Every structure is written in structure tokens, then in C-alpha cells.
Amino acid sequence: MTTAPERLELAAEFEAATRAQWRELVAGVFAKQGRTAPDDPELALATTTDDDITIRPLYTAEDGSPGTGLPGLAPYVRGADPQGTAWQVRTRAGGGDPVAVNECLLDDLEHGAGAVWLAAGEHGVPADGLARALDGVLLDLAPVVLSPGERFREPVEALLACYAAAGIPDSGVRAVLGIDPLSAIGQIPEPDHLAALAKRYPNTQVVTVNGALFHEAGGSDAQELGYSIAAGLAYLRALTEAGLDADTAAATLEFRYAASVDQFGTIAKLRAARRLWSRVCEVSGIKGVPQRQHAVGSSAMMTARDPWVNMLRSTIAAFAAGVAGADAVTVRPFDERVGAPDAFARRIARNTQSILLEESHLAGVIDPAGGSYAVERRTDELANRAWERFTGVESEGGIVAALGSGSLARELGRTWSAHRERLAHRTDPITGVSEFPDLEERPLSRPAADSEPPSILPGVHYAAGYEALRDRADAAAQRPRIFLATLGSLAAYTARAGFARNTYAAGGIDSVEAGPSETVADIVSAFTDSACACVCVCGTEEAYGEWLAELVPALRSAGARLIALAGKPRGDRDTGCDQYVYAGCDALAALGEILEVTA
């Protein structure tokens, strides 16, 4: 009878796998594909983020991991709560009608929400309607989060009056007042008033530092982090200069960040944000005050076309925010881009979080991404990039000066311009919009949503370029069409025809196929019967060499106003085609040109 060892070493009798062995396996895969193996497969398979961070295909213990501490302790990378309690499910009610808002709030609270978030003031519930909107809400149990806009005094006072009417003492008020003049006007007026609110309501977050503002303007993760830390420091300075002690000033801030479909990017971003703010607090002499985070689903990633896919995007974003240790999470209803969300969309948004918490038990482990070599490395590299952004803003005189001079907006604009190029070339795909669109989709119709509070920075939507093309196509008297001149047998053209069909559908353009063809005359006859103005030739490289010299002039003579080729242009031949459609081409430009011809 053998005795089991005290410590079981898995695979102890086998030699440890090495990086060199992995490289050999990668080279073998390239060889099977008929491709030359790269000298450095890690570099060849790597991708680069907007912040110039290289995401490698492989991370191991050899890469090391910076010290991240423990949950509940500085630098709070692993979370602000040592117990790892579940995040707060925070739902948002839009609209200005107090009665309708009240119905939404009560429905949310009865079905899983732990806090409610509503716009108030000029762009939401009027101050004199807040009491009606909150009728029946147990304010001692369900925190209220405001977005009061630039003129915050009246709605904030109205909310605090509701707490007083409920018999809740000032020290018992647990709310987020959401005051954030930096987002609206780039200034911090009335710091004395903010400091007075913080003193009177010690368990309330008076100020919201809206990092999501920079994300929604097209910024990168490092920009969102660096600029939000600069904004937090500006509020910290203003509050302490108004007489508040530094610890109280830090405790009255809540940071809002965007959670996107980039799962690992979102996890790294929220972890890095706590580390960055911890460093600012350390330098300021503040101890034991971790950054309080509210993660909100990215508005920029939401689509108006095929909006049901937004449910999947929001699920991933909420998962990432929860794994990263956010204190509160808001999932946007999937139809938000279309107008005022309906009851079904709100229910799905709530239930997304309920499933993650109650069925997936996502909050059962503290910092489950901790220890992942890839996540730890990305957190560290992102924190360093963000610190560079932060110190750059500080060297300019702070966030107020950077917003006022326009330098920050220009920097965000450059990042968005590069991102927009990737979207146009479909290297950053949008499922249901730039990839696999459904031309039979009937756009959703919703009542118009109330206007958003004004922002000092313009917002962006990743799908806007393609959705504008779809709108143009839908507005035409007849859906725009393009003829696919398919060369040879079905097997010879299927791949490129399928690619072309998917590409044109992204612009709302339907495809009419010639089918298997044996002669130029067959294709020209089918083109004439189609009554299309534009043609895309689809086939193999060999077929192009055989057919194009005769086919292109024949199609021109038959009335083709624009001829595209499914494939990359080659310097060794003149095809006579007007445009080329291939992976990485400027799809937005190509689609726009076709819509101009078919209009």
C-alpha cells in the first residue's frame, strides 16, 4: 500500500514546457497554412492598443507581475472592499415626467436594483417633481444617484429635502449627488458650497468625477484614466482650499468609468484606476480612502442597428466591471440608442446583473482576474501610460487649463480619428453593423428620449458611419443593389462573393448574383437583366487573369457605371476596375461611392 505525498505536484515526472517549444509549435501551424513562419511569433501575433500597449499572444510566469497588494488595502488594485461584497446594481431612469419616472424606479427596485440613478433639473425630472418621482422609494435602503446638470443647486436641495421629509438624519443620507461642473463647463464654481455639503452629509458622495466623459468623446483607456485622475485632483484641491480636510474631500468623490465590450481592457482599466488614485492620495497624505467606482456601460459602443446585439455587449461589459471590483454597475438598456428604453429593455438590463450575481456567483471571489499574467501586465502598463497622461495635463496647469485651451479635446480627437479609421477599414468590427448585418431588419421605433445634459466634449458612436449609410439606403425609393459578377463554378467564387455580400450589406446595399458562369456573355446577360448600375467581380486570382481583360470592357459597354473587384489591387496588372473590396479596405468610402452612383 502506497502513501500519498503531502504535496501533489501535477506533471512532476514530465519536463516543464518551454517558450521555445511553443515557438516551434507556432512555426508548425504557419507551415501547415503554407505561410512562412515569422522570426518572432510573439511579435507577429501581437496587437497594439490605442495607448501603444502591445498585447502579446502568450504570457507566462516569466513575465513577472508587479505587486498588487491585497483587497481593501492600498494601492487597492485588487479592490476597495476586503470582504469582496457584491457590487451595487444601479439602474437609470430617464425622462422628465415624475409619474413615469416613479413607475420605472419602483419597478427597478422591486426587481433587483439596489440603487436608482436619475437625471434631474433642466434635462430630467424638474426639481419640484423629485418628491413625486421618489414617492414610495425607501430612501434609507435604496441610495439615490443624481445627474443634476450644470445648475445643480435646486435639484440637489430638492433631493435632500426628500431625505429630511423621510426623517433621515443628515449623517444617514446615503446618496450620490452627482455634482460635476467640470463635465459641463470645464470649471469648478462654488467650491465652498460643495465643501459645505460634504461636511453636512458625511456619508454622501457630493461630487462625481466623470471619467466616462473622455471615453465617450473617443478617448483611449489611458486618456480616460489620466484625465479622470487629473479631474479628481482638481476637485480635491478645490474642496481642501474651501476648508475641507483632505480625507473628507477624497471620501466625497465618486469616479465614473465606462465599461466596454473590451473585457480585459475594462478589467485592467478599473484596477489601474484604483492604483492611480491611491498614489495621488498617498502624495496628498490621505490614508484609507480608496477610490469609489461607478462603472457604466459604454454609450459609444451601443448601436441603433441590430440593437439586440447590445445585450451581449452589455453583458460582457458588466462582467468585466464586476470582475474588476467596481462598487456600482449600470447596464444600459439595449435600445437606448433608438430612443426612450421600453420596459422589456429595462428588465433585460436589470436581469443581466442579477444573473451575473445570483446565478453566475461572480462576486463570490475577490478579484478573480488577479494573478492572470496577462491582466496583471496590462494593468501595470496601462497605469504607467495613464500616469503619463495625468502628468502631462498637470504640466499644462491642470484639467481646467487643458479643457480651456482645447489641448485635451485635440488629443482626444487624434485618438478618435485613428479609431474611426480602423472602424472604416473594419479592422475593429461591429457585429450586426459592419459585420453580418441583416438587411431584412426593421429598425426599432421608440419615443424620443429626453436630451442629455450638456457636455464640454462631444460624444461619439462607433457605429455612426455605417448607420448613416444604412439610413441613406433605407430612404431610397428602391433598395440600392450591386451585381456580383461571379466567375466560373460555385466553388471558385463562393468565398469572395460571400465577403463582398457581407461588405455591401453593411451599407444597406443588396447583392444580385450571376451564379456559376462559363462565358463573359453569360455574365453580361445576367448583368443586363439585373438592371443594376454597379458591379463587383468575384472569383479566384487565376480567374481574374483569364476573364478581366475581356469582362471589364464588356460590362462598361453594357452600362456598368462602377466596377469593383473582390480582392486586393496588384501592381503587376491593370484590371480597369474602379475600386477594390478586400479585408482591410476602406469600406466606408467604398460603400459611400456606390450609394452615390445608385442614388
CATH number at residue 314: 3.20.20.240
User: In degrees, to the nearest 5, what angle opens at C-alpha 225 toward C-alphas 145 and 180?
Assistant: 35
Strand arrangement of the beta sheet that strand 579-581 belongs to = 510-513, 481-486, 534-538, 562-566, 579-581
The contacts of residue 202 (CB under 8 Å, 6+ apart) are 170, 171, 248, 251
Claim to verify: residue 486 and residue 379 sit in the same structural domain: no
pLDDT at 2: 60
Per-residue pLDDT tens for 182-217?
999 999 999 999 999 999 999 999 999 999 999 999
Domain annotation covers residue 464: no
List phi, psi (to 5°) of 145. -115, 130
Mean pLDDT of all residues in the chain? 94
- Coil, strand or helix at 35: coil
496, three cell numbers: 469572395
Banded pLDDT at 376 (limits 50, 70, 90): very high
Res. 9: pLDDT tops 80: no
- Coil, strand or helix at 48: strand
Per-residue pLDDT tens for 263-298?
999 999 999 999 999 999 999 999 999 999 999 999
User: In degrees, to the nearest 5, what angle opens at C-alpha 336 toward C-alphas 331 and 338?
Assistant: 160
Res. 27: pLDDT tops 90: no
Domain annotation covers residue 455: no
Last residue of a domain, one of 361, 378, 395: 395
How far is it, in rounded angstroms, from Cα 506 to Cα 510? Answer: 10
Claim to verify: residue 350 and residue 489 sit in the same structural domain: no
How far is it, in rounded angstroms, from Cα 98 to Cα 596? Answer: 46
pLDDT at 4: 62
Handedness of CA 356, 361, 367, 370 (dihedral sign): negative
Last residue of a domain, one of 395, 417, 437: 395
Domain annotation covers residue 527: yes
Which residue range(s) make up the domain with 510? 476-598
pLDDT at 90: 98
Question: What Rg do the C-alpha atoms of the chain give, in angstroms?
Answer: 28
381, three cell numbers: 502598463
Domain annotation covers residue 78: no
Domain annotation covers residue 62: no
Per-residue pLDDT tens for 542-595?
999 999 999 999 999 999 999 999 999 998 888 999 999 999 999 999 999 999
Claim to verify: residue 377 and residue 488 sit in the same structural domain: no
Rounded mean pLDDT of 443-470?
90
* Entry pTM: 0.95
Claim to verify: residue 202 and residue 309 sit in the same structural domain: yes
> Structural domain tally of the chain?
2
Claim to verify: residue 154 and residue 265 sit in the same structural domain: yes
Domain annotation covers residue 428: no
pLDDT at 496: 96
Res. 1: pLDDT tops 60: no
Res. 12: pLDDT tops 70: no
Domain annotation covers residue 492: yes
Per-residue pLDDT tens for 228-247?
999 999 999 999 999 999 99
Q: Of 44-48, 328-332, 534-538, which gets the smallest average pLDDT?
A: 44-48
Per-residue pLDDT tens for 305-348?
999 999 999 999 999 999 999 999 999 999 999 999 999 999 99
CATH number, residue 501: 3.40.50.280
Last residue of a domain, one of 395, 421, 455: 395
How far lies 443's CA from each of 221, 248, 306, 470, in Å?
Answer: 32, 49, 8, 10
Domain annotation covers residue 49: no
Q: Are 460 and 512 in contact (CB under 8 A)?
A: no
Cα-to-chain-centroid distance, residue 64: 29
Instruction: With residue 115 as reference, give the H or E element that holds it.
Output: strand 115-119
Claim to verify: residue 154 and residue 291 sit in the same structural domain: yes
Handedness of CA 398, 400, 402, 404 (dihedral sign): negative
